[in-house]
A and B are shown apart, each in its own frame.
Chain A
Amino acid sequence: MSSEPLLQVRNLTTQFFTEEGTVRAVDGISFDVYEGEIAGIVGESGAGKSVAAQSIVRLVEEPGEIVDGEVYFKGEPIVEFEEDDDGDLAPTDAMLTNEEMRRNIRGREIAIIFQDPMESLNPVYTVGGQLREFIEINREVGTSEAKAIAVDMLREVGIPDPESRYDEYPHQFSGGMRQRVLIAMALACEPSLIIADEPTTALDVTVEAQILELVDELQEKYGTSFIWVTHDMGVVAEICDRVNVMYLGEVVEQAEVDDLFHDSHHPYTEALLASLPRPDQTVEELNPIEGVMPEAINPPSGCRFHPRCPEAREVCARIHPDNRDVSEAGERTHRAACFRNDAFDVGYDESPPLEMTAGSGFSAGLTGETDAEAESGGEAE
């Protein structure tokens, strides 16, 4: 692992401007991706992990907009903001143009794999034809050479009998085979980084295992870095080197995978792990996290997890914990946004415990904005 990160994300902020108000989908997240590593972004639905992935390649859809932060890829500014003369935030002149993103970054340098391969494959063209065209355009090679590369890639990702399957249509492929085709497409331009957004979620477990093994092999062979977006802690444990845990638009914990699972410094991560039924041991009682994740349109005050946090104290509802290094001297970097850690000095220990406001889980607030529980986090900070 080289010391300079391949990708640097700082304070990235993406908002959706809706009739109901501003949804703070990604609210100032920071993390790095180093060469040759698989960085995980894990969280439940609504945590903002997919929007985070889209923001990195500037593919946020209306009414969403990146409003602040920095993303540097090999030093190039994919996202960069500065204050203009009126003191408002605006993209800098150096920030890559849409044209530059399309031509130089997406596909070539950073490839993307989505959950549903049918979104990326055109049903009316053959699989091979699409792959060949993609290679022709992006690698500037002739048709016959592109075809040869395409067949090689299909074999490489484990498509049986690639010469004849080259001429088949996407619907003639199984879900797992389609996902392999997308991986072939992603690899075709030998990118430095692949962003995979829940790529195995729709697959059966034995097919998922095949894909994870394939990714492992390819990663070793090509040294490609990955950002792996998932809700599945099992998948995280299986393939990620470092993990970012997202909750309600924020990265609340960031650690090497072993530290995250065996020495977590954030109650949300701990609670999430404790709520999981396990395949390798019989868990008699599950410990669910109380309540539901509130909507990002009106997040709770202070620590956003405080209405559901079993460790919450009065101070947690008042002050917002930033994400900081909580590792002891000599330990690997481990960041967490929780006052329980000594790195914070806000009087957590002296603060009186907070009654859990998320309700008893079952009677937790409706998702509608009219409910008292959902409003428990009225004023932001």
Chain B
Amino acid sequence: MSESVLGEEVSADTVSADEVAFGETLVELDGLTKHFKSERGYLAGLRFKRDGTTLPRPTYERTDVQAVDDVSFEIEKGETLGLVGESGCGKSTLARTILQLVEPSEGAVYFKGENLAELSGEELRSKRKDMQMIFQDPQSSLNPRMKVGPIVEEPMKAHGMFEEEAKETDKSAAELREERARELLEKVGLDPQHYNRYPHAFSGGQRQRVNLARALSVNPDFIVCDEPTSALDASIQAQVLNTMRDLQEEFGLTYLFISHDLSVIRHISDRVAVMYLGHIVELANKEELFENPQHPYTESLLGAIPVPDPRKAGQRQILRGDVPSPIDPPSGCRFHTRCPHLIAPEEYDLTDEEWNAVREFVRAVMRRTFEANSEEQVRERFFDGTHPGGDAGDVVDEAISRIVLDEWETANELLQESFVQPSICASERPAYFVEPEHGTGEHFAACHLHRDEPQTY
């Protein structure tokens, strides 16, 4: 069939002045931040104080939701950067902020070297052509009253594509767009004959293909894919992922691939960024990240996935507690309220074993996960044979006696003040590079466990 319509577009682009070579930076995020104002109290049920304890009463004051906080990284042309995190970590907000669908509170996004925030409305509109997005739910993003052909043509129309070309041929712009839509339907693995069908006649996987065709229609460089296969069954997901890879190769696309699914991320990505509560906590080449994770949150995440092999079952590492609210998130390292490796404050001289016992005790008091009938019982449960001496021991003893008096809040405050707030984890935001074991790419890990490693930059 006429490769011409597709071919022309690609070659037209390759001669344009702002072209970025493969492997060079296409998108750059510099300190990107998005805070929302929230005046309502409905997040109140899950509110946590700085120390991670719940507040007993809903609060209604005006608050700042720190959805994305000071995020910087680059995306190279032709690569797939996987962005993984659990719900509420800010990954979807980050995607929308990159595309300027929501305005950043601070920081900048550079696309092909241009600061998107500094573009005029018209310039940004035409840049949008180069940056497309596909969403998780293909159903709601397709207008049910439009046939799939016109759906695919819509963005081309909006950007006035083929208006010029039409003057030089005997075809109208609309005809040229239809030609391209049919070719794209075939490219994404649909039957071009389905041009006149309505979305409801398609299965979920096929609808996601229609979305792909639509995103591709304006010949973008960069596609943000927000959980594109999460609603699909396993066997269909594999089909769509394979198609996305083929298209990337054919059209030289760059993907930011957002998912909560680590298996999908491992398959599709070249590099992977892990997000927790608005921060990027780790970023490395895929193999390096999965085989040599250097952030305790990444480790917990990897340890939690059920592997489809019963011989590997039961080796899981369980992360305790819930993710704190992004309203007034934990200071320093945001993972410090749950981290199994929280670093001991320097003023105490504790053995690893003692500190492990203290840390577990601090968390258990914070979450009130046990009943305290007597001091002996609590001591036995948490400090059997490892009771720390010195100042730390005094604090622990004081806390235990408070708990037995049912003064949990006082005990918790004491423990937080003595063992958590003085930790480097709670006072400084970590940012380090570590030596990679797999490949040579940079390995970023936002964890103070790496504070003694030589920083090459």
| Chain A residues in the interface with B (C-beta under 8 A) | 44-45, 155, 158, 160-161, 164, 168-169, 171-174, 176-177, 204-210, 212-213, 231-239, 257-258, 261-262, 271-273, 275-280, 282-283, 285-289, 292-293, 360-364, 366-368
Contact = CB atoms under 8 A, between A and B. Distances in A.
Interface string B277-316: 0000000001100100000000011111111111111101
Contacts of B46: 172, 174
Contacts of A360: 189
A160 B367 CA distance: 5
Given A160-B367, A176-B322, A276 B234 contact: yes
B308 A237 contact: yes
Interface of B: 42, 44-46, 54, 56, 86-87, 188-191, 194, 197, 201-203, 205-206, 209, 233-239, 241-243, 260-264, 266-268, 286-287, 290, 300-314, 316, 318-320, 322, 367-369, 371, 408
Q: What is the interface of chain A mostly: helix, strand, loop, or mixed?
A: loop
A288 B235 contact: yes
A272 B237 CA distance: 11
A99 B314 CA distance: 41
Given A205-B86, A279-B263, A286-B241, A160 B189 contact: no
B308 A278 contact: yes
A278 B262 CA distance: 8
B308 A261 contact: yes
Contact of B306 (A234, A287, A364): A234
3 A-B pairs with the lowest CB-CB distances in the bound complex, closest first: A362-B189, A172-B45, A234-B306
Contact of A286 (B202, B238, B320): B238
Contact of B311 (A262, A289, A367): A262
A207 B320 CA distance: 8
A279 B262 contact: yes
B318 A210 contact: yes
A237 B309 contact: yes
A276 B308 contact: yes
A277 B238 contact: yes
Contact of B369 (A45, A160, A177, A286): A160
B233 A231 contact: yes
A292 B237 CA distance: 11
A232 B316 contact: no
A273 B261 CA distance: 16
Contact of B236 (A212, A236, A292, A368): A292
Between A158, A164, A288, the greatest number of chain B beta carbons within 10 A of the residue's beta carbon is seen for A288
Between A207, A210, A277, the greatest number of chain B beta carbons within 10 A of the residue's beta carbon is seen for A277
A362 B238 CA distance: 11
A363 to B, nearest CB: 5
Contact of A155 (B54, B243, B316, B371): B371
A277 B306 CA distance: 12
Contacts of A238: 306-307, 310, 313-314, 316
A280 B234 contact: no
A212 B267 contact: no
Contacts of B233: 44-45, 231, 293
A292 B238 CA distance: 12
Given A209-B319, A232-B306, A282-B290, A287 B205 contact: no
A277 B209 contact: no
Contacts of B318: 206, 209-210, 213
A362 B243 contact: yes
A328 to B, nearest CB: 21
Contacts of B308: 233-234, 236-237, 261, 273, 276, 278
10 contacts: A44-B235, A155-B371, A160-B369, A205-B304, A280-B309, A293-B233, A362-B243, A364-B206, A366-B197, A366-B206
Contact of B234 (A161, A172, A209, A233): A233
A204 B86 contact: yes
Nearest to B191: A363
Contact of B310 (A208, A258, A275, A363): A258
A237 B314 CA distance: 9
A93 to B, nearest CB: 42
Contacts of A206: 86, 300-301, 304, 318-319
Contact of B262 (A205, A273, A276, A289): A205
B368 A204 contact: no
A212 B241 CA distance: 28
B243 to A, nearest CB: 7
Given A238-B306, A273-B308, A361-B239, 16 more contacts: A164-B56, A168-B45, A205-B301, A208-B306, A209-B318, A209-B319, A276-B238, A279-B266, A280-B307, A285-B242, A286-B238, A286-B241, A292-B205, A292-B236, A360-B189, A362-B190
A366 B304 contact: no
Contacts of B302: 279
